[in-house]
Structure 1
Amino acid sequence: MRTIVLKEEAQSSKSTIFCGEGAFEKELPRFLAGYPQKLIFTDSNVERLWGARIREVLGDVPVFVMPAGEEHKTEETLFSLLKAMAEQQLHRTSCLVMIGGGVVGDIGGLAAALYMRGIACFQVPTTLLAQVDSSVGGKTAIDFLGIKNLVGAFNQPEAVFADPCFLSTLPPREVRCGLGEMVKHGALSEELFETLLARRNELAALDVPADLIADNIAFKASVVAQDAKESGLRKSLNLGHTTAHALELAQKTRSHGECVLLGTIFEAELARRHEKCDDGYLHELVSLCKEVLGGIPALPPAKEWTPLALLDKKNTERGTVVVTAPVARGTYRLIALPFAEYAREAEEIQARLC
């Protein structure tokens, strides 16, 4: 098992991340022993697949189950959870244990930040995406007014338990979803990118080695430690995400990770047009994205999804779209484009790709 300590440079607090077999069954109970009251927060998919095992490991702990799915990442679910926490009479010495994917972690982390102005929380990510990305770094949020992650807070969990046992029940689409974020990390780290290229056949076969998961967690933790509140370096983790979020909003049948892979392809092509780039590197990156995707899927017309890029939180001016684009190994640029230019070029890129 690998242990990673995430300590923010400007803060005294730290978050410990356990990666590997036994993280859930051995390490989590040890951490929870010091809390007199606990509430488990999970979703209906995890409860169906893992509920019995969770009770075997953690005993008779109250459980609040939300309906599974991004469409339930709402204020209604948040306040239902807060109500359950109050009904269980949790106090500041209590803790919330989030067992699930990114939606569970986002809502649970926000609820823990709000309840009594903050109680301890622990994350047990059960999807590949949550293990390598959303459980690390303390970002929490709900979607509001049709906009992703509009209401949220930064709230680091006390500890994260990334156990590969949960990945055994993931469908292929969810594995591909997590691979999208792993490829994004590779685009930002020269060393990690070379590792991904060397193991591309495993990734294309949706076979994800445990050591590669730990490497991705360590990379993201290193970025967050330097810039927890996304004022500088952490913005790099938005690579590919402006276009990804627009595609995700327009085509709800695509997973977040699949859209990140597509967004990375589109924004790499935008980088070619607006920055001095390493063309060989971009070719390798785009090829890797396509392999993991299994090819470019059918997309809605660009005129339908490009306006949704205007809603992205990374934009700094009205009518401007900002993308975090790869330009060379381990190097990115923030590119600000007038919306008309972004929409025209995205349409041209899509016509060539599809």
Structure 2
Amino acid sequence: MSVLIDVTGVPRERIVFCPSPLAELGAALHALSEPAHHARLHGWLTTTSAGLRPELADRLHEADFLWRSTRSDILLPAEPRETLAEELDDLDRMDEERYVTAALEISCAQSYDEGVLSPLSDPATRQRTLELATARGPRQAAFVRRMLADPPAVRRWIRRLLEDCEDAFFGETWRRVRVQLAADARHKTELLRRKGLADAVAAASGAMALEEDGPRSRIVVDKLSHGRTSAAGTGLTFLPTAFGWPHLYALHAPGWQPVVQYPVPTAELAGSTPVEVVGRRLEAVAHPLRMRLCRNLARAPYTTSELADANGITAPEVSRHLAVLRKAGLLTTQRRGRYVLHQLDVTVVSRLGSDFLEGLLR
């Protein structure tokens, strides 16, 4: 499963790597609402949560469907600005139906790829939106009813909320992380200029790749969902984030310019492992006999014949199971004279749990 972004014929100058204060605030608010997703941000999350005024914390809880389980498209600007105020000004210029439909996408967009009618103008969509909001609790239901009844007032309320977040904690945070994000964006832009889109995309995330088939080319974003969009006529924006890992967001709604928000690499984070690879590795170690072989291979290097003797099976049978483990990337091999020694790559195995979780949350 993946999100496909068609980039056939898109000029290089229309592919942009740039930090966005609004997108970074959205990522930070998600981390605050789902701290279990972001164990590496424990210090920042603890300090920031403890410093929030109760009134601001309540308002954030009221609107958290905008960033909690996914990210509303209004928080991923296709044209990043220098300041949060400028990006909020751009949001203010968005027409009402587009804004409300995007803001309520979690409640009303069952068919994200095909788009939905506006809940402001379509009675069936409006009713479905209210039903789904009610299922999420009385606070969200009340918020959605307010938005549908008086969109301008709620839009002003959301803007004030984001501005208050900037005053309370995000302004200082943004001044700290923007240097890192800008440096990452410059690096990816230089890669794009010197080596091409494939290298720039691969450097942004191991969960993305450029595929080319004759004259056509597309970016494949490894996700636990299907999606398809095109950057032709609009362009493509990549937004680095310091708060995003393990998430990789790809805005691909009809009528919107594609936007990808990717986590910037840090010294402690390895490259993303594709969901397909994680599945292959889990299947490889799930077999009872391969599990027994792994217990041997985790302790020391073994030859095929040694493993056969230790487990009471034939050498060809061992070879078949080793081939499965090797294909999954779980083994290292080394030759000593006429002997080939196999050993479990414990570093890769130790990441299986975190790779699995990252794939689910991506």
TM range (shorter): under 0.3
Q: Relative contact order: is structure 1 or structure 2 higher (C-alpha 8 Å, sep ≥ 6)?
A: 2
TM-score (normalizing by structure 2): 0.23
